[in-house]
Amino acid sequence: MSRFRYVSPVLLGVLVLSATLQRDVISLQFTVNKIVYKIFGAMSKDLYIKISAHFGIESVENLVANRRNRFINRYGETDNYLCQMLR
C-alpha cells in the first residue's frame, strides 16, 4: 500500500490540472480497486468497503474533487493567469 501512497499524488496532481472526464475517474477507480484486490486477495464488495474504511482509501471521485478544491483555494487568489482560468 505504501507504493500507492507515492504514486497517487502524482496521478491526482495531473487530474487536478487537466479536464477530468468521467471515464478517467472510472478508469482510475478500477485501477485502485484492482490494487486493493491484489494486496488483500479476492474478496467480496462488503469486505472491500470495510478495508477501504479501515485504511482510509477514499473513492477517486472524492480525492479528485478534494485536491481540485484545495488547489483552487490555495492558488485561486494569485495573479497567475492559469490559476485564474481554473476559477
Q: What amino acid is encoded at 78 in this protein?
A: T
| Residue environment code for 7-35, b if the CB has 16+ CB neighbours within 10 A, otherwise e | ebeebbeebbeeebeeebbeebeeebbeb
Can you tell me which residue has the cell 467480496?
A: 44
Closest CA to 71 of 4, 18, 6, 24: 18
Domain range list for the chain: 2-86
Digit-coded pLDDT (tens) for 1-25: 455 555 566 665 665 556 567 888 8
Digit-coded pLDDT (tens) for 38-83: 888 877 888 888 888 888 888 888 888 887 788 777 776 767 666 6
**pLDDT score recorded for residue 49:** 86
Does the pLDDT at position 87 exceed 80? no
